Amino acid sequence: MTEATSINKRAIVALGGNAITVKQIEDTIANQFANTRRSLHTIVELAREGYDLCVTHGNGPQVGNALLRVELTRGKAPELPLGICVADTEGGMGYMIEQSLQNRLDKEGIKRQVCTVITQMVVDVNHPSVKNPTKFIGQFYSEDEAKTMARERNWTVRRDADRGWRRVVPSPIPLTCVEKEVIRLLLDQHVIVIAAGGGGIPVYIDPVLGYEGVDAVIDKDLASAIMGREVGAELLLILTSVDRAAVNFGRPSQTWLDRVAVSELQAYNDEGHFPSGSMGPKVEAAINFIRHGGRRVIITSLDKAVEAMKGRAGTHIYPDQESFD
């Protein structure tokens, strides 16, 4: 179907939200396409080297916008539940990445095909966050507005620091990808797959109906680690807004992490060095990936990704038995 130089190299590339939506730039579709095109260099270089690639991505801003459209059209159009909004943005963003990446590969003479797979993730519906949601999503409101919406729409709302009140939803742990066998087959044929957008669509298994949706969101990095385990990836590349992870971040004793064994990273995580709202899920994803057979995780920024692949940037996490020589 396509050409590749190796069948032994397989990687998950997890694009952060800054790959498509940039805070300082108006969030139009034209700008999202432009941002997407700028984020593809590392993926193209990995494809050139013969990696079989599965690309995942965040969707936080896009889901927020989708929910805003639901609110603005309430009473005029059928309301869309959160799970459908996740599915819609997974498809729309997958289209943007797929088209932009295929054009770039064709331009550079790399004979690879790209395919987006709308992905469902089975989640743990007994996870504490289902009963006690904590994941902020959507727009900011005044306290009165938020409490009115909570009463009228059965939302859970909380104050988000000093910025206002927002809706909070469950963020349960992903367990397995429903489409994993299809994705593995595509990767075996060297198709570059875009999957688990926004962490995937959360579902659970009903004993009567089978797969059923959950009004929740899934952390993209945790879903990427599950995907990597299930398709046999050796590398997980997490691209975010910072060049490296650090311990004692923001303190005089801050120390950047360059190369770290998974047990050492686990110890830092247990000590609370990685906040749940920022680096925490990325570190947990790295630990999960390595503990289940992955060979390497790199956490770095989009700008430093190519250098990180050469070992000259980023935080590199390895199994304990790996030599750092």
Determine whether 220 is an active site residue: yes
Four-residue CA torsion sign, 76, 120, 56, 38:
negative
Known active-site residue 269: no
* Catalytic site residue from 16, 138, 220, 304: 220
Q: Which of 35, 199, 282, 314 is catalytic?
A: 282
Cβ neighbors of 271 (< 8 A, separation 6 or more) are none
Please give the structure tokens belonging to residue 193: 């797959």
Contacts of 137 (CB under 8 A, 6+ apart): 60, 63, 64, 67, 82, 166, 167, 168, 169, 217
17 part of the active site: yes
Note if 107 is an active site residue.
no
309 — phi, psi (to 5°)? Answer: -65, -25
Determine whether 94 is an active site residue: no
User: Could you give the CA distance from residue 148 to residue 256 in angstroms, rounded to a whole number?
Assistant: 45
| Cα–Cα distance list, 240 to 16, 19, 93, 181, 237 (Å) | 5, 8, 17, 28, 10
What is the residue type of 69? R
Q: Is 215 exposed, middle or buried (0-12, 13-18, 19+ CB in 10 A)?
A: middle
Set 83, 94, 135, 314: catalytic member: 135
Question: Catalytic: which of 16, 17, 200, 294?
Answer: 17
Catalytic residue selected from 18, 31, 65, 269:
18
Cα angle for residues 233, 239, 243 (degrees, 5° grid): 125
What residues act catalytically? 17-18, 135, 220, 282
